Amino acid sequence: MKLEHFALNVENPVEMAAWYTKHLGLSIVKQQKEAPYMTFLADDSGRIMIEIYCNPVNEVLPYRTMNPLLVHLAFVSADPGQDKERLMKAGASIESDQKLEDGSHLVMLRDPWGLALQLCKRGTPMLAAKEDVNRGSSVH
């Protein structure tokens, strides 16, 4: 099985979707124009999506006050330091900036609505490169 999407009930999915497309490079796959404003956003691989919506019947988690290790969206970044500065100018706030012994650089931010975002540059990549995925994974 493969992951299709991860869903989050958020305060303002319409504004959040616009910010994520503009500043994180996600693209809108499907979006409802009326409540609950269900929006599916795909990453640049076109293989993974997040769904955001605002369903007042259910609880919107207090993302702003939650420890970012409870829930966060992690993005691969070629330059977490540069992306951190760019996103902070766009309204994100910093939580932490770590350089690990294995060469990884991890930056934890909060988007303008308080949801934690992690920028990851791994010392050793944990996922196959896009080209490797496109070539397939047949065993010889």
Mean pLDDT split into 10-residue runs, the chain, 140 residues: 94 97 98 97 95 90 96 97 98 98 97 98 82 42
Query: What confidence score (pLDDT) does residue 139 get?
Result: 37
- Contacts of 43 by beta carbon, 8 Å cutoff, 6+ apart: 25, 26, 49, 75
105-110 and 93-99: which strand pairing? Answer: antiparallel
Please state the domain extents for the chain: 1-58, 61-133
Q: pTM for this one?
A: 0.87
For residue 87, report the phi and psi dihedrals to the nearest 5 degrees.
-70, -35
Examine domains 1-58 and 61-133 and report if their fold is the same.
yes
Tell me which CATH homologous superfamily contains domain 1-58. 2,3-Dihydroxybiphenyl 1,2-Dioxygenase, domain 1 (3.10.180.10)
* Two structure tokens written together for 128: 């196959």
Query: What confidence score (pLDDT) does residue 65 get?
Result: 96
* Two structure tokens written together for 92: 């994100």
* Fold classification of 61-133 (topology level): 2,3-Dihydroxybiphenyl 1,2-Dioxygenase; domain 1 (3.10.180)
Query: What confidence score (pLDDT) does residue 133 get?
Result: 44
